[in-house]
Amino acid sequence: MVRLGVVAGVLSLAIAAPAFAQQASGVPVSTANAQRADVPIITRGIGTVQALQSVLVRARVDGTVEKIAFTEGQDVKPGDLLAIIDPRPYQAAYDQAVAKKSADMAQLGNAKRDLVRYSDLAKSEFASRQSVDTQQASVSQTTATTQADDAQIAMAKLNLDFSRIVSPIDGRVGLRLVDQGNLIHANDSAGIVTVNQIHPISMLFTLPQDVFPTVQDSMRASTEPLKVIAYSSDDKEKLSEGTLLTMDNAIDTSTGTIKLKAQFHNRDDRLWPGQFINAHLQLSIAKNVITVPSTAVQRGVNGLYVYVVKSGDVAGLVPIEAGQDDGRVTIVTKGLTGTEKVVTGGQSRLTDGTRLALSAPSSSATPAKAGG
């Protein structure tokens, strides 16, 4: 029995020894330096990318599609040919209108010459004044007929031009909606192809109505358009930077949000119509504020706090008040001076006064750069 007790005591000491050694050497933690920095003040919303202009190209005359002149996904400019509708019926109508005007012009010339003859005869009283007036009316009527011919020619020329379907805007064509050889009509709703302008491109996003006054104040105070940064749907990858164009003229009462519109150059095509994104609207830049990594900030029953490294490498619990926290950097508005070394990992094993085993601290809190 004595031997078993000795063995148990030795085992107990062996188990307790590592814990005692760790306590004597300190709890291992990671640290970072608090610092003063300029931090962008950002509000976030969810949005959808939209083409700056989107046009569903439809036929304006009836006919058979003689040619599809674009490649799907092609970039086009205003006036670039997209399709040709069989122009022969419209060419014939144009030629007919031109011929009719020629005939009416011949009649007008003859009517004018007759008017001259009647006028000369009336001077010698060989023709009545009524005959002159009747011939004058004939000239006026034939003149009006030629004017109507001009209108018919213009209409026929317009229809002939409509047989060549061109891009109305600068953009990129999508998938074709009709194939060569199909008969299409001017009232077809399906259209031929959609052209979307993506350089530049726009984005609609929403923000809670509570931030509306802040956004409005920032727009008034800034001499330049507010910056908008587009991030991927997981809010990790920065896609593009643009500028805020405007806010909607009303708050949506069903959702309590307001819509905002931003514009991006999109030279690298990182944004695409229909794409869901996270919008970061930069309202201002907080100058020379105290920042710490977000992982340093802990929440307790009495509010927020951080552990700082005190003299002798012991932990000190410091209550703080915080401003913006973007998930990487937290602005500390009260509690720190900006010269402290804060604990960023291992806090669960700490209490006020715990001895620490420090790893090499990072050089700074790495605040987010202005604009993202």
pLDDT one-digit tens code per residue, 22-79: 455 789 999 999 999 999 999 999 999 999 999 999 999 999 999 999 999 999 999 9
pLDDT of residue 127: 67
pLDDT at 15 over 70: no
Q: Answer yes or no: is 20 within a domain.
A: no
Nearest to 308 by CA among 330, 338, 288, 333: 338
Domain count, the chain: 1
Q: Answer yes or no: is 148 within a domain.
A: yes
Instruction: Residue 105: give the domain boundaries.
Output: 87-162
Q: Answer yes or no: is 41 within a domain.
A: no
Average pLDDT over residues 336-365: 85
Which one has a higher pLDDT value, 364 or 236?
236
Average pLDDT over residues 238-261: 96
pLDDT of residue 366: 54
Alpha helices in 163-273 (DSSP H): 212-221
CA distances from 166 to 89, 94, 359 (A): 19, 20, 67
Q: How many CA atoms lie within 13 A of 151 on its CB side?
A: 6
pLDDT of residue 272: 96
Lowest mean pLDDT, pick from 51-55, 154-158, 228-232, 361-365: 361-365
Mean pLDDT of the chain: 88
pLDDT band at 16 (very low <50, low <70, confident <90, very high): very low
Q: Answer yes or no: is 94 within a domain.
A: yes
pLDDT at 17 over 60: no
Contact by Cβ (8 Å): 266, 198: yes
pLDDT of residue 30: 93
Average pLDDT over residues 245-261: 95
- At CB < 8 A and 24+ separation, what contacts does 105-110 make? 105/146, 107/142, 107/145, 108/139, 108/142, 108/143, 108/145, 108/146
* CATH number for the domain harbouring residue 138: 1.10.287
pLDDT of residue 3: 45
d(CA 349, CA 255): 43
Secondary element (H or E) of residue 290: strand 276-293
Contact by Cβ (8 Å): 91, 160: yes
pLDDT of residue 187: 82
Nearest to 328 by CA among 362, 281, 279: 362
Residue whose structure tokens are 């009283």: 125
pLDDT of residue 21: 45
pLDDT of residue 134: 84
Q: Answer yes or no: is 128 within a domain.
A: yes
Question: pLDDT tens-digit profile of 124-182?
Answer: 776 677 777 787 888 899 899 999 999 999 999 999 999 999 999 999 999 999 999 99
pLDDT of residue 44: 94
Q: Answer yes or no: is 122 within a domain.
A: yes
Torsion of Cα atoms, 33 then 37 then 43 then 45, to 10°: -60
pLDDT at 365 over 50: yes
pLDDT at 2 over 60: no
pLDDT of residue 326: 86
CB atoms within 10 A of CB 264: 23
- Report the percentage of the chain scoring pLDDT > 70: 89
Question: pLDDT tens-digit profile of 258-295?
Answer: 999 999 999 999 999 999 999 999 999 999 999 999 99
Secondary element (H or E) of residue 91: helix 88-123
Q: Answer yes or no: is 348 within a domain.
A: no
Average pLDDT over residues 242-267: 96
Q: Answer yes or no: is 141 within a domain.
A: yes
